Amino acid sequence: MSLFCKIEDNNGVMTLLQGPVTLPNCEANVSNFNAISDLTVLKSYGWVPYEKITEDKEIFVSSEIEVLEDKVVETIITRDKTNKEKSDEQWQLVREKRDELLRSSDIDVLADKWENLTIEQRNALSKYRQSLRDLPQDSKSPFKINWPVKP
């Protein structure tokens, strides 16, 4: 599938379309894109091939557009995440999992269920929930978590 674009004015306003589709219905545009197989016809109406070059890394940095005689090339500048960004993201996932584990054990500490537990069961459940709450502070790396086991 081809990509085409048209520079709409001298300010660099660009319309991008992915074919085969019908071009926008405005002045100087072609109306039946599906029937046009000759690139010279599209070019005569100002539509030129569009090419996107990207390294497909994790973080978008910027975009540079170069208008050539026969095509428009957009170069997407990207970068990898830093170790801190990866760590921060992983800590967020750890917190979300920890919160979900706490929520899923909330039912066990409701009064009607709690009163039917033995002292040992209550202590084990309390210790488990406290271990979950202490997880972020007690762990040095978000990639190596010792998750407590629910009793």
pTM higher than 0.75:
no
Residue listed under structure tokens 């502070």: 137
Q: Kind of pairing, strands 72-79 and 48-54?
A: parallel
Distances (CA, A) of 70 to 62, 85, 133, 141: 23, 40, 61, 52
pLDDT tens, N- to C-terminus, the chain (151 residues): 567 777 665 554 555 544 444 444 443 443 445 556 667 777 777 777 888 899 889 999 998 888 887 888 889 999 999 999 999 999 999 999 999 999 999 999 999 999 999 999 999 999 999 999 998 888 889 999 999 999 9
CA pair distance 117, 25, nearest whole angstrom: 72
Any idea what the Cα angle at residue 74 is, between residues 72 and 79, rounded to 5°? 170
Please give the structure tokens belonging to residue 22: 């019908």
Question: Residue 97 has what pLDDT?
Answer: 96
Cβ proximity of 33 and 45 under 8 Å: no
Please give the structure tokens belonging to residue 86: 């990866």
Q: Is the dihedral of CA 125, 126, 131, 133 positive or negative?
A: positive
Question: Residue 7 has what pLDDT?
Answer: 66
CA-based nearest residue to 145, from 105, 109, 101, 81:
101
